A and B are shown apart, each in its own frame.
Chain A
């Protein structure tokens, strides 16, 4: 793990790549995300984030829409890599 700061997924701009490092919000929330591919260690790409409204991310070749509040609970480390597909 590197020392880059963790930021909420909600703050990343479209096109940004990142790795999920922590998910707040309880077992139920993180469990639901895990089934869709969003787990700790997942590489993601932000597809859409207009600064308000929901955020669209891609991970494991899956497009997941997240409400703004949900995107705030997912802490990521920005990278310059391609997302793992």
Chain B
């Protein structure tokens, strides 16, 4: 029998925001709570990811919004602004704040800011196991009594305490009147000026902003609220406010220290620490990992190991897939389609299998690289690499944080450009984005890994390394040049938390590898497949022979330019096809040179001279970024001018370097 809908109160969907500082296990908790119901989008008008999911527990149904990891609620970054806007504009029923028990005081700073916003909060105390391992004991019920709000101990990695957390959230939502937490008060010397400010802004602050909160943020020098308040107050009132604020510019320091004093009082009874601080594993490891000399040695060893693993494990596998699997599939396709029109067999064997099929053989290479990257990130090492690289990044006008997106660029330039969001200052972000395409991405590295053995045999590894070093030198030079000219005089603050080292989580790494390799496979199945078919069609029609094809005609128009770099038209066409996706360079070479047996490598070795090969590889590494990267650069910079400037700059550099390398190689006695 069908029943009538439940009463409205039980049906109500709660809106719950999940807040927390970075590295507190918030994502793990979010994934556990929402499982497959997750939905990923963007915050309106912002380049920050918005993750949502739903969960039902007993009679509580919630829409859970994962807020970005933030240290405070003063809008220093897009993330903090997004989190703050969510709380003020969307009126969540409850905020669940996740705190890392092993650094409780610092975590509670965010709680202090949340409480000032008068939003109901449930505190999830995570990582109690980590705290205990450091000798820190926390009594949750004592903390609960002091703070006057629910404190639920959880261990997200072991799925403990989640039911209690959901129950506490549901309970608070049904009894909002019971929420009377302790709230931090402003230090005595500034109390009077705050009252004065409150009076001045009262009546001018529009809903949903709270005038008292606005007054406090003004005193804290919050840039966004200051700008807003200036508009609200108008020309008559604002000058008075401004004078008052200028006279109390130092208040911001006292407000922050006042919050920590309050936190100290809140946790005093609940937390027991070892009398003598023990040296943690993290500090022992950091003695080496961030040491000015050993840190560099470790950094280069780690990176060398990543690339060595890729070369020795994944590249032979790729070769086997190319020569044996794809080779046999092409034979089989020709055999099966022997009775069909000639162009159909050629399309399948040359266009599809020789192009997109060949690109798919690079999946193992990518999976291995992304696996290594995820492992470094998840253990906490990647943040150390930013620390070690900081002093070198300063030469480029950047700081250590920019190293992280740039390193990600070795996998793919698209996440590198998007990863530049971690840099707080606009000019630093822009400069990082402009330099990101100069990091040789895995697609270009596989072209390099595939072609250097073909051209240079046993000398392949040194040649490949030299080319990568040359590439990175160009990156450094461009960075220095831009820093001395367009970005002159911009200074960016380097402030970064180095998280505790911890055991990597196999599931998190697996998910990262899966997402990235699957994205690549999809690209091979769509973008690259389409490009392969187009390139093949241009190379086959109108007559069915390559020499008279449309492609040959396009290539021959550009032949004078290619001649300067020792490249024939087929190589030029391969470079141009690389604009769609860098993997197309190999796909196109596969189609254009693919007539011989025994795999593409042998055919190329027989037909291309070493000097031309070297020039070709140089230009491939430095050439204009792929279509996807250009699109993301436009999206992230918000400017076609900067995007096209960078594309033109890279084109000029690549062609210049190609000409130099070709003539240099001949000058040094290489066969041209």
Contact = CB atoms under 8 A, between A and B. Distances in A.
Contacts of A6: none
B387 A47 contact: no
Contacts of A48: 286-287, 290-291
Contacts of A52: 292, 391
B497 A82 contact: no
B19 to A, nearest CB: 13
A27 B42 CA distance: 29
A25 B221 CA distance: 12
Contacts of B496: 64-65
Interface centre among A29, A52, A54, A56 (most CB of B within 10 A): A54
Nearest to B21: A35
A8 interface: no
A37 to B, nearest CB: 4
Interface residues of A, number: 41
Contacts of B282: 63
Interface string B39-74: 000000000000000000000000000000011101
B533 to A, nearest CB: 49
B292 A32 contact: no
Nearest to A85: B273
A70 B292 CA distance: 18
Interface in B389-434: 390-391, 394, 399-400, 424
Interface in B87-130: 102-106, 109-110
B390 A34 contact: no
A67 B105 CA distance: 24
Contacts of B252: 27, 30-31
Contacts of A37: 103, 105-106, 109, 260
What is the predominant secondary structure among interface residues of chain A facing chain B? Answer: mixed
Contact of B253 (A23, A28, A36, A61): A23
Contacts of A65: 290, 383, 386-387, 390, 400, 494-498
Contacts of A5: none
A35 B494 contact: no
Contact of A34 (B72, B493, B497): B72
A53 B292 contact: yes
A33 B76 contact: no
A62 interface: yes
Given A37-B106, A67-B495, A28 B260 contact: no
Contacts of A64: 495-498
Given A61-B102, A63-B497, A32 B71 contact: yes
Contact of B276 (A23, A31, A56, A82): A82
Given A30-B252, A82-B276, A62 B106 contact: yes
Nearest to A58: B283
Nearest to B386: A65
Contacts of B102: 61
Q: What band does the interface of chain B fall in when counting residues whose beta carbon is under 8 Å from A?
A: 35 or more
Given A34-B109, A54-B391, A60-B105, A70 B286 contact: no
B257 interface: yes
B228 interface: no
Interface in A28-79: 28-37, 39-42, 47-48, 50, 52-54, 56, 58-67, 69-70
Nearest to B108: A60
Given A34-B72, A36-B497, A37-B106, A63 B286 contact: yes
A54 B71 contact: no
A45 B166 CA distance: 38
* Residue of B253, B277, B383, B496 ringed by the most chain A CB atoms within 10 A: B253
B72 A31 contact: yes
Contacts of A69: 491, 493-494
B127 to A, nearest CB: 11
A67 B221 contact: no
A29 to B, nearest CB: 6
A41 B260 contact: yes
A23 B495 CA distance: 14
A60 B256 contact: no
Contacts of B249: 27
A35 B71 contact: yes
Contacts of B273: 85
Nearest to B103: A61
Nearest to B271: A85
A62 to B, nearest CB: 5
Given A39-B259, A56-B387, 6 more contacts: A39-B256, A56-B498, A60-B106, A69-B493, A69-B494, A70-B494
User: Sorted from nearest, which 4 A-B pairs have the closest CB atoms?
Assistant: A27-B221, A35-B71, A67-B494, A35-B72
